[in-house]
Amino acid sequence: MAEGKCLCGALTYELDGPLSAMIHCHCSMCRKHHGTGFSTFVVGPIAGFRWKSGEDRLRRYQSSPKGTRSFCSVCGSAGPLALPGPGIAVAPAAAFDGELGIKPQCHIFVASKAPWDTITDDLPQFDAYPPGFGAHGVDRPVVTPRAGVTEGSCLCGDVGYEIAGAPARMINCHCGRCRHGRAAAHATNVFYKMDQFRWTRGAELVTEYKVPDARFHTVAFCSRCGGKLPRPSPERGIVVVPAGSLDTDPGLTAQMHIFVADKAPWFDISGALPQFPGLPPG
Ligand SMILES: [Zn+2]
Ligand SMILES: [Zn+2]
Ligand SMILES: [Zn+2]
């Protein structure tokens, strides 16, 4: 039995094993909902799924004709879905701390992965759903790049933003707050100066949640769809952009993994990027 929770702790739930699948999804909807390069979800029998708290805080957004996403209305973390039709419960693997008795099995929707996302492990890759899945992807809006400007938006599209010029850095963070806030194996955040950034639409939909015992750690999300959004930090003069919310290429790829001492036990870091147990030196 594993207990899942969102970043703020309002949503808690249990999912009994054995889990039947653990899959990395790179589709544009997962990228926007989680704010990361890919989501990792686990599947278990619906009979093994129980809410412990916070079901009344759960908000749902219909992201496609057949697809619904759930998220915590307080902190925006992606939540679980119980699907009576197929008799399964689907939850973000990162909602659970500790081992889950299963490891990631494959990457799906690799054909629609972000330009800055490089898959470095040896797991099988599928362009969309694996063969025999009996479902199809949906067409998603495509944003034509403009020179010198990087654009982004939430999952429903009601909130949009643009950034002038190049990013300062791009970092994969494996800390517990990022794992629960993004409900993903790790955050991938892009850092810009505050004056490079502006909302182009829907700023009134942006909800922020600050972790009470953190100095700075604050997440931002669209209150309608739960899509992760940039968080301008006036006290630091920077804006932290969840890379998954980008619609165009920031022209940079991740430079390092940080807080790897806190990483999810089911996630193996591959590739040659430098790894730091906590913050990088300096
Ligand atoms: Zn929450
Ligand atoms: Zn997906
Ligand atoms: Zn939205």
> Tell me, what's the pLDDT at 139?
82
* Residues 184 and 172 sit within 8 Å (Cβ to Cβ): no
Model pLDDT, residue 1: 76
Residues sharing a CB contact under 8 Å with residue 232, sequence separation 6 or more, in sequence order: 194, 197, 238, 239
pLDDT tens for residues 218-251?
A: 999 999 999 999 999 998 999 999 999 999 999 9
pTM: 0.96
Cis peptide before 80 (omega within 30 of 0): no
Backbone angles phi, psi at 181, to 5 degrees: -65, -45
Using the mean position of ligand 3's atoms as its centre, give its distance from the Cα of residue 223 in Å.
Answer: 7
What pLDDT was estimated at residue 14? Answer: 97
Which residue ranges of the chain lie beneath pLDDT 70?
Answer: 134
Question: Counting Cβ atoms within 10 Å, is residue 141 exposed (0-12), middle (13-18) or buried (19+)?
Answer: exposed
For ligand 1, the distance from its centroid to the CA atom of residue 8, given in whole angstroms, is 4
Query: What ligand is nearest to the CA atom of residue 206?
Result: 3
From the CA of 39, how far away is ligand 2's center (Å)? 7
CA gap 159, 186 in Å, rounded: 23
Distance 272 CA to ligand 1 centre (A): 34
pLDDT tens string 52-88: 999 999 999 999 888 899 999 999 999 999 999 999 9
